[in-house]
Structure 1
């Protein structure tokens, strides 16, 4: 049976006791010497002709004598002996030390600390052995040190505290082995997670506790507390929350906002923390006069004033100022002014709660970037990090550009931490930029289930790697299947193609559908590739090419009815290949973050089929979405308008897979293929054909339901209106080709769950046609625009 010997506080006390006994015995011997040799006692001096060391095995005798520092034949007193003793103990090499004068000989007897045979961990489940091994500094074949073992135990406790396990205890113990060796064992009691039971605020009048809790990274423990990690109490997370809370208020014009204190108290049951933020909001400020002044000789301030995109009356936000500075500096570079600097000078007007902003143009110092040093990236290639810098070696140094580069590096998601600092280089006009990063995992393999109210349950397997081979490339493989739909897809993306701000992507997919709600089955294979690049501060432009093969086969459906002539003609065709070139323009005001309470998204795309292949058409799509938060950001209003048209060219006719099948994908309240032109004959067939054009307007309002926000549940209402119309080929049995209007109202419940944000819709059609297919309930993954 192994016998454990406890170190810890008891071991420290024991060590001190041993050392104290050594000192006492030394002085007892000295006292004896005084009694025997009264002459020496009176003089309190000694002279040793020899010094003998006993008990050392690994440590050379010469090393111990050097620590003692007692010369042969030299006069030595009791104080000198004590100092020698203290020096030997302070070396940290010996468990016990004794100094014994024996006439003209001084005997130094030592017991060496054992060497560590192995380091083990017991009782740990939440943190694996390999993680703890990297954390502690005590290692095998190292001389055992009680102080280092205690320090390692403290490091392990801190690791558990970072996970919210504040009750964790770590006790280092040793098991004695032969040959003066020990096994060092850290016994871990992990304890339970200390949760955040309640987060509250004192002093907030403009924003409710509910709204402010949405900003924080810390969350209150809720119904599914077992699945959440952010509801554990972590002191560092609270510090981060203080910063994001400050950013939240300042981005909304509250320049005087302060956090006067944060109180974290254990609940009465001592199983959770009650966290209270004490805040002072202050007043909201708007922009007053916005001017530009030039102190740079030869620079006309009016030219740069026209480049500003802020106006008096807007709510003040630091991002507005940063964005304006960036616009001015970019314009200066285009005008050949590399060292123009912008200094915003703010004049406060308390009477009308405005801030006058004067952008002063000055000539900055002629400082250049000497080099960019990158450390800590064990997987990610240097060029991936360098791509986030707009500056390279030899460029003029711009502090703002360096700060923005640091933010872009952190936003990659490849690192747990990224620090970017500048220091003086080889001369006063040179700067070295140091980048220090800590790598994190960037890949994931997930297994899960899928559910659709139309396709039922299915299995989904996906692999994603956002930093493939450390090159910053994204790779994703997905396989999903339900009773009526199977999809296999592969995606690859290079965000900095050819070393430029140019995204290259290539996608491949294969899909099979065997749906009961359609009278045909499909098999489609698709390969597409594209290039995306910025077209402006808030806009992007994408050019793409795609080749698609489509096979349509008629089925009898669940009712056993046959297929109509129009769909039968399409299913009789062999596999049809479509080769198309296209583009897509997007304008998104959210990318700048200038207005946190509102956003606009505009998209327009066109695909030109006929670059080879069997199909010839022009397919156009447009989308406009606007969102705004009202009532102190408690309620979200959203309006969207979407439309499209496909125009066949020459003798070619569109297929049902290319036309617009309006249903739950575009208009709520109807099943897929539920709205649009239909080929109908009583008792024979009722086929959804899809239209060559469609238009849908959707209006949503989301609001709290009064439930605790830690449940992640909110409500909403919606109203949709739209239709689909038009066909290339028609017949007398086609209904709704002229596109009658449909209208739907409904209620929604939003639930933020650990598996993703879910949306439950209950709807009722206010206006519909006889053979439209309604869908009163729908469950889907929530998507914001």
Structure 2
């Protein structure tokens, strides 16, 4: 490829000087040369052009027409011709009575193709390159396009990608431009090292960041792929980790990522300066806003609990947020709470003073939403606590950020205020990055009575970008199938009303456990709404038809319920959620109570109550998490007896170590040994989870559990044998409460298919007629 060359310009200048005085007068491709000298017209002769007209070339040269032409003018004209990208070579040759311009045109691009690209689509690559069909081909542009393609691959973690532009000659000075692409492998992280850390080991700090080192499981994960954005997050996580553990002087000096010479991996190094560890000293509040009392805010600070404890910047931020919320509740939306830390470096104590001052009065001018490609704007906007014209309120902005994150539709949520059109106006920017909202969940188990148990649930939590939830579940356990379809509008009429329509059909063959088959079809509309920040109430109605067919050899306690029955009921579920995290809680508790009232039409008349409370507590920096749950239920009927399919059954997930329907009142006289359920139950479940010494990136944890429970109570315990059926005998069933206890081990695996839980349980206290279940596994995945 030929370009404008300074050496050529010098030679051209010397030739012009040797030829005589500068050429004067206007130049035209068609003018005849009458003679040289002042005032004579000169001729420009164009040679070598095939597609481009001479007049077009002369216009690109832009030579002056009102004065003599100098060597500098010709040099500039040559540059301009090269800059058009139309020519691969240009020569301007002075002649006796004019100028000869010899050009060699660049070929035109006939077709652009990509080879070797499996991950990136052709249409996506075409959008990022500058070369176009029917436009001139230039090597410089092709090389620039190749670099642009390489940059796209680097953004996806493929730093070893190579792109080579190749041309194929065609007739009529045309070429096909082919980009030969070697996408390469994902460029992983070969090592993560820390320099300057004394208080915490490298492995402990690696646990706190998102980036992981590559290993044999890397094919399933993406956290081992180098990502500059993830590295920025890691820096923030390290700061948060140290500042929450008392290292107030912590400084991250640098975070570097060096690519190996063979481009197969990155070496990441964090250079830290830990400083000394501090404890909390005294707390105070300084109010500089008229109308606020400092004592009201001091009451919110747990000074007695924190003084002397390890300094925690996260705790300081949470207190500042609570003080801001209190100011907002008192009508002071513009109050700013600024924590001031006074460090005593000798005793390593930090006194905290929260300064409350009146800020500038700012109002929301506009709310902009960016980044949502699938989710409708209104789905996000209805979570925003502010509207245009409202006073700027930092508390409501935090609530907005939390609410949008809580939707579960986005990987990243940023809610920031930017300057508006005036000093008293702000634009609220909501920036999101969407993620997959569909999921497939699999449950796998094994019961010594029912054999393999499997569940498949398909859920879309953001249906058509409208924030609606569609769920379809199919469960197969032996000869039992459950088909469940539900649709939920979580914000009915854009209010805090979640309306759900659910239809179901159950083919429940309990021949192995209770010697009957149950076909149930029905629908359940419901509506749920918050009562407070932590409490939720759900109201529902249920209508179903239950067809119960008892086996010929079933217990008389089962055969008495043979036949069809319609059930019409209303109910409610009240939940109170104080967990610190909805996905992986390490503190707090969750309480629920559910009641169903049957008898609004139909054949069933009963009141069924179920209540539970579960608490979590983390220890040793949340490496060990313990939980305990208490659950109980009661069934009361207005008729003569409760029906077997309305009673409670315990076992499986509800009492590990025992099979589903494995404990409780049972016919021990007849050969079927049918479980008949009970009207009352109580269960206590205790569990701990902890690391087992394997590398953090493997995502494998251990655990242990102890479950205890009982199921008891029938309206009557004696049942006559059915008339004419000599295969079964009359039976009196023991319905006394008897405690069962089981213990075992747990294994949790963060697999590419989702969290896997394996449990091995062994009954410790049991009855001879109970049904055990030793092993159970469940797994879920996302798509």
TM-score (norm 1): 0.85
Whole-angstrom distance in 2 between the partners of 1:535 and 1:253:
38
What is the deviation of 1:243? 1.9
**2:594 pairs with one of 605, 608, 630:** 605
Cα deviation code 1:55-79 (max 9, x no counterpart): 5566665654444231247322222
* Equivalence for 2:334: 339
Structure 2 residue corresponding to 1:465, chosen from 460, 469, 473? 460
Q: Does 1:660 align with 2:666?
A: no
Within the candidate set 344, 360, 367, 1:365 is matched to 360
The separation in 2 between residues aligned to 1:178 and 1:693, in whole angstroms, is 89
- Counterpart selection for 2:181 from 180, 188, 195: 188
Q: Which moved more, 1:421-430 or 1:121-130?
A: 421-430
2:92 aligned residue (95, 99, 113) = 99
Matched, 1:68 2:61: yes
Partners of 1:474 and 1:716 in 2: how far apart?
A: 33
2: CA distance between counterparts of 1:170 and 1:292? 62
Deviation per CA, 1:701-758: give whole Å up to 9, x if none. Answer: 2232223333332222222222111123322745451111111121222222111222
Could you tell me which residue of structure 1 aligns to residue 771 of structure 2?
773
Inter-partner Cα distance in structure 2 for 1:489 and 1:324: 45
Contact 1:442 1:467 (8 Å CA) reproduced: no
Q: Quote the Cα distance in structure 2 between the aligned partners of 1:767 and 1:393.
A: 64
Q: 1:592 to 1:101 in 2, by over 3 A?
A: same
2:673 alignment partner, SS class: strand
Q: Cα gap change, 1:644/1:199 in structure 2, threshold over 3 Å: closer, same or farther?
A: farther
1:162-177 mapped onto 2 (5 Å cutoff): 162-177=155-170
Q: 1:584 aligns with which of 556, 574, 580?
A: 574
2-side partners of 1:449 and 1:307: how far apart?
Answer: 45
- Which residue in the other structure is 2:251 paired with? 258
2:743 maps to 745
- Contact 2:744–2:759 at 8 Å: present in 1 too? yes
Instruction: Identify the match of residue 429 of structure 1 among 417, 424, 427.
Output: 424
* Conservation of the 8 A alpha-carbon contact between 2:479 and 2:508: yes
Using the alignment, how far apart are the partners of 1:457 and 1:137 within structure 2? 59
Cα distance in 2, alignment partners of residues 39 and 360 from structure 1: 82
Secondary structure (helix, strand or coil) at the match of 1:739 reads coil
2:664 to 640, 665, 676: 676
Instruction: Select between 460-469 and 625-634 the one with higher mean Cα deviation.
Output: 460-469
Match of 1:242 among 235, 239, 243: 235
> How far did residue 512 of structure 1 move?
2.3
Match of 2:526 in 1: 530
Q: Quick check: 1:48–1:72 contact (8 Å CA) kept in 2?
A: no
Q: 1:735 to 1:238 in 2, by over 3 A?
A: farther
Conserved 8 A contact 2:163-2:182: yes
| Structure 1 position 488 matched with structure 2 position 498 | no
2:727 matched to 1:729?
A: no
1:565 corresponds to 2:559 = no
Task: Please report how far the alpha carbon of residue 276 of structure 1 lies from its aligned counterpart in structure 2 after TM superposition.
Answer: 4.5
* Residue from 528, 534, 550 that aligns with 1:554: 550
Measure the CA separation in 2 of the matches of 1:276 and 1:652: 74
Stretches of structure 1 lacking an aligned partner (at least 5 in a row): 1-13, 557-561
- Aligned-residue offset at 1:393: 0.6
Give, in whole Å, the separation in 2 of the partners of 1:696 and 1:73: 102
2:298 equivalent to 1:302? no
Structure-2 change in CA distance of 1:195 and 1:638 (3 Å): same
How far apart, CA to CA, are the structure 1 residues paired with 2:81 and 2:252? 52
Q: Residue 328 of structure 1: CA displacement? A: 4.1
Structure 1 position 384, deviation (Å): 1.8
Structure 2 unpaired stretches of 5+: 24-35, 720-730
Question: Is 2:469 the partner of 1:474?
Answer: yes
User: Using a 3 Å threshold, how does the CA distance of structure 1 residues 407 and 663 change in structure 2: closer, same or farther?
Assistant: closer
CA pair 348-597 structure 1, distance change in 2 beyond 3 A: farther
Q: Distance in 2 between matches of 1:255 and 1:609?
A: 60
Alignment RMSD, CA only? 3.7
Instruction: Write the distance in 1 (CA, Å) between the matches of 2:585 and 2:273.
Output: 21
Instruction: Report the more deviating stretch, 250-259 or 392-401.
Output: 250-259
How far the C-alpha of 1:387 sits from its partner, in A, is 1.7
Contact 1:521 1:553 in 2 (8 A): yes
Alignment partner of 1:247: what SS? helix
Kindly state the Cα deviation for residue 666 of structure 1 after the two structures are TM-superposed: 1.0
Aligned-residue offset at 1:769: 0.4
Query: What are the equivalent positions in structure 2 for 1:621-770 lying under 5 Å apart?
Result: 621-648=610-637, 650-651=638-639, 653-682=641-670, 684-731=671-718, 733-770=731-768
Residues 140 and 597 of structure 1: CA distance in aligned 2, closer, same or farther (over 3 Å):
same
Distance 2:408 2:129 in 1: 27
Task: Report the equivalent of 2:725.
Answer: none
Report how far residue 678 of structure 1 moved.
1.1
Q: Tell me, in whole angstroms, the C-alpha distance in 1 between the residues paired with 2:462 and 2:384.
A: 18
Is the deviation greater in 524-533 or in 405-414? 405-414
How far residue 127 of structure 1 moved from its aligned partner, in angstroms, is 2.9
Post-superposition shift, 1:765?
A: 1.4
Q: What is the match of residue 381 of structure 2?
A: 386
Secondary structure of 1:608's aligned partner: strand
Contact 1:678-1:734 at 8 Å conserved across structures? no
Any idea what SS the aligned residue of 1:241 has?
helix
Deviation string 1:320-343 (CA, Å, 9 cap, x unpaired) is: 445444444444444443433333
Answer yes or no: is the 8 Å Cα contact 2:160–2:263 preserved in 1.
Answer: no
Structure-2 separation of matches of 1:202 and 1:734 = 74
**Pairing of 1:204-223 with structure 2 (within 5 A):** 209-223=202-216
CA contact (8 A) 1:221 1:710 kept: no
Name whichever of 503-512 and 408-417 sits farther off: 408-417
Deviation (angstroms), 1:84: 1.9
Asked whether the 8 Å contact 2:753–2:779 carries over to 1, the reply is no
- The alpha-carbon distance between structure 1 residues 52 and 645, as it changes in their structure 2 partners (threshold 3 A), is farther
Partner of 2:400: 405
Report if the CA contact (8 A) 2:538-2:573 is conserved.
yes
Q: Is the 8 A contact 1:347 1:355 kept in 2?
A: yes
2:606 to 617, 622, 629: 617
- 8 Å Cα contact 2:634-2:680 kept in structure 1: yes
Bigger drift between 527-536 and 386-395 goes to: 527-536
| 1:582-606 Cα distance to aligned partner (Å, 9 max, x none) | 122222231599x985332233333
1:677/1:734 contact within 8 Å kept = no
Q: Deviations over 1:454-474 (max 9, x none)?
A: 365577665443332332222
> In the TM superposition, what whole-angstrom CA distance separates every residue of 1:341-386 from its partner, at most 9, and x where no partner exists?
3333333355665544433333222221122233454543222222
TM-score (norm 2): 0.85
Please state if 1:452 is matched with 2:445: yes
Deviation at 1:121, TM superposition (A): 1.4
